[in-house]
Amino acid sequence: MSMPSSQLKGLRDRSKVMIQYPYNLSYRNLLYFMAAPTLCYEANYPRTSGINKSYLMRRALEILFLFQLELALIQQWVVPVLQKAILPIHNYEGYTIMERLLKLSVPNHFIWLVFFYFFFHSVLNALAEVMKFADREFYRDWWNAETIVYFWQAWNIPVHKWCVRHCYKPLLSIGCPKFAAQVSVFLLSAFFHEYLVSIPLHMFKAWAFFGMTMQIPLSGFTSWVSKRFSSNYGNMIVWMSLILGQPVAILAYVYHYYVTSYTTIA
Q: Which residues are catalytic?
A: 193
- Quick one: which of 166, 144, 170, 167 has its CA closest to 155? 144
Query: Residue 118 carries which DSSP code?
Result: I
Angstrom distance (rounded) from CA 239 to CA 242:
5
Please, which residues have CB within 8 angstroms of residue 104's CB and are 6 or more apart in sequence?
A: 78, 81, 82, 85, 247, 250, 251
Alpha-helical regions (H) of the chain? 5-10, 14-18, 27-35, 53-73, 79-90, 94-116, 124-131, 148-154, 157-163, 169-173, 178-201, 207-213, 215-228, 231-261
With contact defined as beta carbons under 8 Å apart, do 170 and 185 qualify?
no
Please, which residues have CB within 8 angstroms of residue 101's CB and are 6 or more apart in sequence?
A: 85, 244, 247, 248, 251
Q: Please state the separation of Cα 13 from the chain's center in Å.
A: 42
155 CB neighbour count, 10 Å cutoff:
19
> In degrees, to the nearest 5, what angle opens at C-alpha 186 toward C-alphas 193 and 197?
5
